[in-house]
Structure 1
Amino acid sequence: MAKQKRKLKGIEKCPTGVKGLDEITEGGLPRGRPTLVCGSAGCGKTLLAMEFVVRGIQQYNEPGVFMAFEENADELATNVESLDMDVRQLVKKNKMAIDYVHIERSEIEETGEYNLEGLFIRLESMIDQVKAKRVVLDTIEALFAGLPNEAILRAELRRLFRWLKSKGVTAIVTGEKGEKSLTRHGLEEYVSDCVIYLDHRIINQVATRRLRIIKYRGSHHGTNEYPTMIDETGLSVLPISSLGLDYSVTNERISTGIDELDAMMEGKGFFRGSSILLSGTAGTGKSSIAAAFASSTCRNGEKCLYFSFEESPNQIIRNMSSIGIDLNKWVKKGLLKYHSSRPTLMGLEAHLVKIHQKIEDFKPTSVIIDPITNLTSIGGQAEIKSMLTRVVDYIKTNKITGLFTSLTEAASASEQSEAGISSLMDTWILLRNTEVNGDRVRLLYILKSRGMAHSSKVRHFMLTNKGIKLLEAAE
């Protein structure tokens, strides 16, 4: 009889409560060990550390200690008030302790050896006071500016990190980015269990934030750079690099909102949870088909979320009313929601996080992004494709039907999407203009539609004051 293999447990994790971070760390930070969070100024180190303590109290009933070396308690509390973190109230309830350690080099008179015993005493007192499970030291590198003997300080820091482990607390230590090392004074030498790097960079004159786990001893973890965003809810990390191709599918069909277009797809329309691309030159009717689909979704009592990178909601509603599509009534009923913004308002990563958040909040069954090609103003084709791959994976995983419009240049090949994402799409509908007897005529045909029989005919596509009509193919 074969021996049964013993399952190994691995290290225990401490959930951070920071959106997305627990997913890419596969459960959180190493419990009972210190973690180094490093990066340049303004990347969100202090905020991540503060959320780790506050969310730990709010969500996991784990009291915490925050020892600051740059900002006092009042400044820290004020800075995070707008992010739904009432630090003063947590201190009042004895769930959290904050201490500001100020070291002035001019006030220090070195008479032989010194140590950090006073720091140990203050830290232990606060840990005992609130029965802390979590500790933050932000940023302990300030000690290097205040204390003159670096060799002694480094020896004391090693002792400090060993002491934190012996106390069994899960700690975050923050450090400023160095020129040739992760931190200015090489803190990564002491904190070897887990190192997280935050980056704040400018791409195409747009600020963008990213997070990467440099190492995580004893645990699997995501190794990519992940987009992060700071908004009214705090710091968010979007862990989706690709959720893989293991999402479930359904044979259920939903109407396109245009009877004749449904007829071109076995009379049933799109597969629910599929991704659809509408591409064509300017004025071919891409947004009109998107509006018809949105109206059809709402008519069935389902929610539709419409991201517009070109027009305001009022402009879309007015324009669509001219072809007999009343979108305003669905907005009033709470079934249709718009999110309109210029692409240049934020970076691709921030748009990705915002799309993720809006979907989480509204919980639609259909999502429209119109047009994806406007994102070329803030990113290259490879970056846009990477972002949209994440969007497609996310909505497919949640069985949400996604419709994307793409503008093609008049001189470019018609069977080519400007953002290069046609391979991600289940259904691709192509629209184009042509001239017949001196008149401009719109044409529509289905280039592909996976998993179903579909018409290969080219149809006349007409916008009338009573809706969208598809006529028999032109000769």
Structure 2
Amino acid sequence: MAGKKRSKENPAIQLEVLEKARTGVRGFDEITEGGLPQGRPALVVGGAGSGKTVFGMEFLVRGALQYGEPGVFMTFEESEKDLSKNFATIGFNLKDLIARKLLFIDFVFIERKEIEETGEFDLDGLFVRLESAIDSIGAKRVVLDTLEALFSGFSDEAILRAELRRLFRWLKDKGVTVVITCERGTTTLTRFGLEEYVADCVIMLDQRMTDQVATRRMRIIKYRGSKHGSNEYPFLIDENGLSILPVTSLGLNYTVSSERVPSGIERLDNMLGGGYFRGSSILVTGTPGTGKSTVGAHFADAACRAGKRSLYFSFEESPHQIMRNMTSVGIDLKQWVDKGTLRFHATRPSLYGLEMHLVTMHKIIEDFKAEVVIVDPVSNLASVGSNTEIGSMLTRLIDFLKFRQITSLFTNLTLAGGVLEATEVGISSLMDTWILLRDIEIGGERNRGMYVLKSRGMAHSNQIREFLLTNEGVQLRDVYAGPAGVLTGTARLAQEAQEKAQAMTRQQEIEHNQREIERQRQIMEAQISAIQAQFEVTKEKLEMSVTQEQTVEKLLAKDREAMARLRKADKTLAVK
């Protein structure tokens, strides 16, 4: 992998930078920003069982299959037959690569007692043999395993140092990328105390025991001409070779999403204003038996229904036990396992150290391409690490999940009698949403309650909900909050019945009053009708009287006019 870089002093000038050869080892190329120094020797140091030979062989196999670079493996301890059998367990078909001239294995047997040290002794014979192997397949990569076996007969330190320098110089002149394995020294990094100074890149592999649990770690001691990670990185050897965790903790520059992901519990989604944010981390805490695993199972079920690949890490129960238990609350997880959208990974925490658990989880998540991850429960990891170590491990896991926009749900056991709004492993600050499940004791009953303690970036309910496990899954109901406090269970039912009776009494009183109003209205209307009728009768009589009086008045007026005419009275007077 060639590259150029512009000069800071004069951008017009391009500087040649170190070329690198990708190893194909999972995680290693990220740590070294490209792989091993191309055309230079690299030293892999470690004790017995640390993975030196596996690293070297995977470097050759991945180089041949992924990058088209044939390689030579010169071994001083194991035969070609033994190597082929050993590496078949991790899926490497060495015989096929040899037949295709992509790999050449040369077993050089060295008998220490046959070596006669003289001032003229050198490695010319080895160089001839190695050059022939390189030329026979056009090799670009070489592994020498191990250096101690090659120099086992040397006791003269001056000769040893001279031959070591000559070996490294010869390999560099050949222009092949070389991995040389060697054992760790007692007082120095390497057994001879010189190899690390003449190598361009030094990698240390380590296997250590802590509380009877083994953990493998890798560290880049030096890398001439290149930046590299300087921390210790845990790694795993499994059926696919090496897997190295490339980061101890990622930065805080990951992207976020406003897309909502359903929890699988409708009323919980309503409490959260629509569900979890995609790529967020959710913590569900509670005392034993409060339903933490059921909340996780609901989330997995909802994700699978939406077509999202879900991964369930269990540190407490087997997959079959989880699936059986969840059928009692109406959740069928087996259907998703059969369809391949849900995968369980169940182990006891004591199987690995924390670092190995982290590497294993990284690898499984990447291989399965998970979109949703459930970890149940993280509190069980306390058996293999301190709270500080667990917090550090989970910080790295959560960073990893957030960078990949994977929505994650963690359950955590809270001890009875302890502080409910706290976690023993101190991870609450890492979580975007924190759901608390608690026991509510009243009237001789223990019932479950749920409330959202926090949920970043969204308006959420501050109400406690009664948490019921039914044949149809989790149901959330409003609790009764009154002068006597929060009521759940039969106490809530009794209070609801009492309130219902009181409501019925009030309704009956209202209906009675409404009927009385109607009766009084009818009485009033009857009285008004009677008065109206009496008024009409009186009115009629009075109108008749008025009419009669008017008629009499008219008759009198006519009579006066007639008398006036007879008397020949003045018209004016007659009118009067």
Shorter-chain TM range is: over 0.9
Does structure 2 conserve the Cα–Cα contact (< 8 Å) formed by 1:416 and 1:422?
yes
CA distance in 2, matches of 1:180, 1:3: 46
- Is 1:48 the equivalent of 2:55? yes
Question: Equivalences for 1:28-427 in 2 at 5 Å?
Answer: 28-266=35-273, 268-427=274-433
Q: 1:432 to 1:5 in 2, by over 3 A?
A: farther
Q: Deviations over 1:20-73 (max 9, x none)?
A: 101100000011111110011100001100111111111111111111122222
Cα deviation for residue 105 of structure 1 reads: 2.5
Q: Deviations over 1:300-346 (max 9, x none)?
A: 22221111111111211121111122222222222222111111122
Does structure 2 conserve the Cα–Cα contact (< 8 Å) formed by 1:33 and 1:164?
yes
CA distance in 1, matches of 2:270, 2:103: 63
Over aligned residue pairs, what C-alpha RMSD do you find?
A: 1.6
Does structure 2 conserve the Cα–Cα contact (< 8 Å) formed by 1:37 and 1:175?
yes
Cα deviation for residue 364 of structure 1 reads: 2.4
Cα deviation for residue 5 of structure 1 reads: 5.5
Q: Deviations over 1:356-395 (max 9, x none)?
A: 2222222222110100111111111122122212221122
Secondary structure of 1:56's aligned partner: helix
Q: 1:303 to 1:108 in 2, by over 3 A?
A: closer
Secondary structure of 2:42's aligned partner: strand
Which 4+ runs in 1 deviate beyond 6 A? none
Does structure 2 conserve the Cα–Cα contact (< 8 Å) formed by 1:276 and 1:426?
yes
CA distance in 2, matches of 1:332, 1:174: 45
Q: 1:213 to 1:327 in 2, by over 3 A?
A: same
Cα deviation for residue 243 of structure 1 reads: 2.4
Q: Deviations over 1:276-315 (max 9, x none)?
A: 0001111111011111111111122222111111111121
Does structure 1 conserve the Cα–Cα contact (< 8 Å) formed by 2:196 and 2:202?
no
Q: 1:282 to 1:5 in 2, by over 3 A?
A: farther
Secondary structure of 1:94's aligned partner: coil
CA distance in 2, matches of 1:301, 1:143: 56
Q: 1:98 to 1:332 in 2, by over 3 A?
A: closer
Cα deviation for residue 466 of structure 1 reads: 2.1
Q: 1:154 to 1:361 in 2, by over 3 A?
A: same
Unaligned runs of 5+ in 2: 1-8, 482-576
Q: 2:469 is matched with which residue?
A: 463
CA distance in 2, matches of 1:173, 1:383: 34
- Range that drifts further, 128-137 or 85-94: 85-94
Q: 2:536 is matched with which residue?
A: none
CA distance in 1, matches of 2:105, 2:156: 27
Cα deviation for residue 240 of structure 1 reads: 2.5
- Range that drifts further, 168-177 or 384-393: 384-393
TM-score by length of 2: 0.80
Cα deviation for residue 9 of structure 1 reads: 4.1
What amino acid is the match of 2:290? T
CA distance in 2, matches of 1:189, 1:363: 39
Cα deviation for residue 252 of structure 1 reads: 0.6
Does structure 2 conserve the Cα–Cα contact (< 8 Å) formed by 1:144 and 1:150?
no
Does structure 2 conserve the Cα–Cα contact (< 8 Å) formed by 1:295 and 1:327?
yes
Secondary structure of 1:83's aligned partner: coil
Q: Deviations over 1:443-471 (max 9, x none)?
A: 11111100001111222111112221112
| Identity in percent | 60
CA distance in 1, matches of 2:101, 2:362: 35
Does structure 1 conserve the Cα–Cα contact (< 8 Å) formed by 2:189 and 2:196?
no
CA distance in 1, matches of 2:383, 2:210: 11
What amino acid is the match of 2:172? K
Unaligned runs of 5+ in 1: none
TM-score by length of 1: 0.96
Cα deviation for residue 425 of structure 1 reads: 0.6
Does structure 1 conserve the Cα–Cα contact (< 8 Å) formed by 2:190 and 2:196?
no
Does structure 2 conserve the Cα–Cα contact (< 8 Å) formed by 1:459 and 1:474?
no
What amino acid is the match of 1:359? I
CA distance in 2, matches of 1:177, 1:186: 9
Cα deviation for residue 153 of structure 1 reads: 2.2
What amino acid is the match of 2:266? D
Number of residue pairs aligned between Structure 1 and Structure 2: 473
Q: 1:111 to 1:344 in 2, by over 3 A?
A: closer
- Range that drifts further, 60-69 or 34-43: 60-69
Q: 1:315 to 1:74 in 2, by over 3 A?
A: same
Cα deviation for residue 474 of structure 1 reads: 4.0
Does structure 1 conserve the Cα–Cα contact (< 8 Å) formed by 2:329 and 2:474?
yes
Secondary structure of 2:89's aligned partner: helix
CA distance in 1, matches of 2:227, 2:41: 17
CA distance in 2, matches of 1:364, 1:138: 38
What amino acid is the match of 1:319? N
CA distance in 1, matches of 2:373, 2:117: 65
Secondary structure of 1:446's aligned partner: strand
